[in-house]
Chains A and B, each alone.
Chain A
Amino acid sequence: MKENETEKYLIRNQIFTGALEQKFLKGYRKFFSIHEIETSSILQWSFGAFLLTYYITFYNWVRESTITIEAYASNKYSCWSYFQNCGEYYFLKALPYGYSQTTLYVGFFALMVLTVYLIWKKEWVLAHFGLLILFIWKVINIFVLTVGGGNYDYYDLILSTIFLFFPYKLFFLKLVFVLLYFLASTIKIHEGWLLGSYFTSLHTGLPIFGNSLAPFITNIVIFMQVVGAWFLLSEKKILQRIAVSYFLIFHLYSGILVQYRYMTTAIPMLLVLFGPLYSATKVPLNKKSIAGWIFILILFIFQSIPFLIKGDHKLTLEGNRYGLYMFEANHQCVSSATIYYKNGKNASQKKETASARNRCDPYRVWFNLNEICKRSSVPVDKISWTLDHSINGSPFYRIVDIQNACSLTYRPFAHNTWIKTFEDSPEIVGYPVKNIYN
């Protein structure tokens, strides 16, 4: 009787009074297992943590012109290799060219404020719907409209997917949070981390500890991601608390390099799921849990894609973005292209990057060159192109040396023979000097 009274005063039951609307809301609540959020304070806190990640994401995106009509027109954009004509679907105009992008994000801001209000009123069904809209836009942005999203966005979306869609939300949130450390360790089992040369190649070196300790620190990180992360799920309080403390310090430490963005994704969720409210959760093994287990299998499959493509994906970047790729290698590159126009004129294009984070993906350079081939106002005859890539302070290898980039195609899930791997013995064209993180 008391529950019915509470139900009566819920916002959704006062606004949507029609029988059909009520039926839809009940179905929605059941389909998305929202009763779990209603009864778990950890899930309720994690709702807030998710909103924070969406806020910080959109705070950055509103100022960027990545998916705008202008980006497409000026060829300053990149599509996923599995959807190479994404730019044709851009519809936003960013400042100073138009108001549509800022209008859209003001709308999202209003939605976030409304969602916070709905959380405060314990109106979990409508709050869930608010977050679902933010989630859909983020998925479209990250996996459809541009390839430029950050790896932390993957964390947000993977965890949001569990929170929004699957039963046994709490169990799978905890397990997948740990699993993300485990999967992220796969990209660290490589020279840059085993020797610590990722950091010693930086002009500023390894923060706080210095370069002498680099290989020890990086191997401790690998150990904690492979082994230590699982202690977050431990029933033994001391072990569990040690693991939480380590990862809290780890994220704060990594913030010295990666700054606020990744910390915002990781730390609130770490503390909510494994902090003071933590208790071990029973493993669900019934039919309802199948979706969660399949999702975990999918994460493994995607993480394995770059390893299944021929060559060292740290050098070729093929398949690199299908899984977690953060801090996979310290990159430097030089791209030199000569554009031969049909009217007999030439133009040179040289791009250099010394930022360890700038991944020198041959696909993305080719993508922009190919757009010139297709869309230049002066018809293009051919584009000759070389790409020299150095990882973790190693020599610059000429991994692309092509007479005509316009004649190339890029295969998203297989090796592209025009990109040289170490097995092809690419020519060494020089040595890098120390570089910068960002």
Chain B
Amino acid sequence: MEKLNKEFIILKGLEGHPAIELNIAQKFFFPKIQYIDFFWWGIWIFILIYVTTKYLLKPLLTLTRKN
């Protein structure tokens, strides 16, 4: 624990300003971070599938059917 209290003073003048301190909003979101992470990756994959289908696969399928 002693080690944990040791500050690595990198920038002179900022001693005693720990970077790890979270503000109220961050404290609210922190316990849910895994879910937020999962949520954004879910949205990302959904959008990827949606745009690939809309802009590439669907037109390609239509084109193949016409031919």
In the complex, the answer to whether A186 meets B19 with C-beta atoms within 8 Å is: no
CB distance from B44 to the nearest CB of A (A): 5
Given B20, B22, B29, which contacts A431 in the complex, CB threshold below 8 Å?
B20
Stretch at the interface among A53-61, A146-154, A191-199: A191-199
Alpha-carbon separation in the docked complex, A388 to B8 (Å): 10
Within 8 Å by CB of A194, from B18, B40, B51, lies B40
Q: Min CB distance, B27 to chain A, in Å?
A: 9
Number of interface residues of A (CB under 8 A): 49
Which of the residues B3, B7, B23, B55 comes within 8 Å of A214, measured between beta carbons?
B23
Selected contact of B18 from candidates A230, A429, A431, CB within 8 Å: A431
CB contacts (< 8 Å) of B40 on chain A: these are: 185, 189, 194, 222, 226
Chain B residues in 8 Å Cβ range of A190: 37
List CB contacts (< 8 Å) of A152-204 with chain B. Answer: 175, 182, 185-186, 189-191, 194-197, 200-201, 203
Q: Given A185-B44, A194-B36 in contact, is the A395-B29 Cβ separation under 8 Å?
A: no
- The residue in chain A whose Cβ has the minimal distance to the Cβ of B28 is A215
A194 close to B37 (CB less than 8 A):
yes
Task: Kindly report which residue of chain A lies nearest to residue B11, judged by CB atoms.
Answer: A354
* Cβ distance B8 to chain A, nearest Cβ, rounded Å: 4
In the assembled complex, the Cα of A334 lies from the Cα of B11 at a distance in Å of: 12
Q: Is the CB of A227 within 8 A of B43?
A: yes
Q: Are B8 and A431 in contact (CB under 8 A)?
A: yes
Whole-angstrom CA separation of A395 from B19 in the bound complex: 9
Decide if A107 is an interface residue (CB 8 Å cutoff): no
**Complex contact A226–B20 (CB within 8 A):** no
The one of B10, B43, B56, B59 that contacts A432, using a Cβ cutoff of 8 Å? B10
Report chain B residues within 8 Å CB of A194: 29, 33, 36-37, 40
The reply to whether A433 and B26 contact each other, CB–CB distance below 8 Å, is: no
B25 touches A433 (CB 8 A): no
Does A130 touch B at the CB level, under 8 Å? no
Given that A194-B36, A212-B23, A216-B25 are known contacts, is A230 also in contact with B10, CB under 8 Å in the complex? no
Chain A residues with Cβ below 8 Å from B20 are 201, 393-395, 431-432
Instruction: Map CB proximity to A onto B1-21 as digits: 1 under 8 Å, 0 otherwise.
Output: 001111111110011111111
- For chain B, give the interface size range: 35 or more
With a CB–CB cut-off of 8 A, which chain A residues contact B21? 200, 393
Identify the closest chain B residue to A194 (Cβ): B36
Interface centre among A219, A222, A430 (most CB of B within 10 A): A430
Nearest residue, chain B, Cβ from A175: B55
Count CB-based A-B contacts (< 8 Å): 133
A402 and B6 alpha carbons, distance in the complex (Å): 22
Interface string of B21-58 (1 = CB under 8 A from A): 11111100110010011001101100110010001100
Give the complex CA separation of A285 and B60 in angstroms.
Answer: 7
Chain A residue at minimum C-beta to C-beta distance from B43? A226
CB contacts under 8 Å to B, within A347-400, are: 352-354, 388, 390, 392-396
B11 touches A396 (CB 8 A): no
Select which of B23, B33, B48, B59 is within 8 A of A200 by beta carbon: B23
Contact at A189–B41, with CB atoms within 8 Å?
yes
Q: How far is the CA of A197 from the CA of B8 in the complex (A)?
A: 18
> Contact between B3 and A428 (Cβ–Cβ < 8 Å)?
yes
A201 to B22 alpha-carbon distance, docked (Å): 9
Q: Closest CB-CB distance, B53 to chain A, in whole Å?
A: 12
A175 to B54, CA, bound (A): 13
27 contacts between A and B (CB under 8 A): A175-B55, A186-B44, A189-B37, A189-B40, A194-B40, A195-B26, A195-B33, A200-B26, A212-B25, A214-B25, A219-B36, A226-B43, A283-B55, A285-B56, A285-B60, A285-B63, A332-B10, A334-B8, A354-B10, A354-B11, A395-B4, A428-B4, A430-B7, A432-B8, A433-B19, A434-B18, A435-B11
A residues with a Cβ closer than 8 A to B are 175, 182, 185-186, 189-191, 194-197, 200-201, 203, 211-216, 219, 222, 226-227, 230, 283, 285, 293, 332, 334, 352-354, 388, 390, 392-396, 428-436
Task: Give B residues with C-beta under 8 Å from A.
Answer: 3-11, 14-26, 29-30, 33, 36-37, 40-41, 43-44, 47-48, 51, 55-56, 59-60, 63
The 5 closest A-B pairs by CB, nearest first: A393-B19, A354-B10, A201-B19, A430-B8, A430-B6
Known: A283-B59, A285-B56. 5 other contacts (CB 8 A): A354-B11, A431-B19, A432-B20, A433-B14, A434-B19
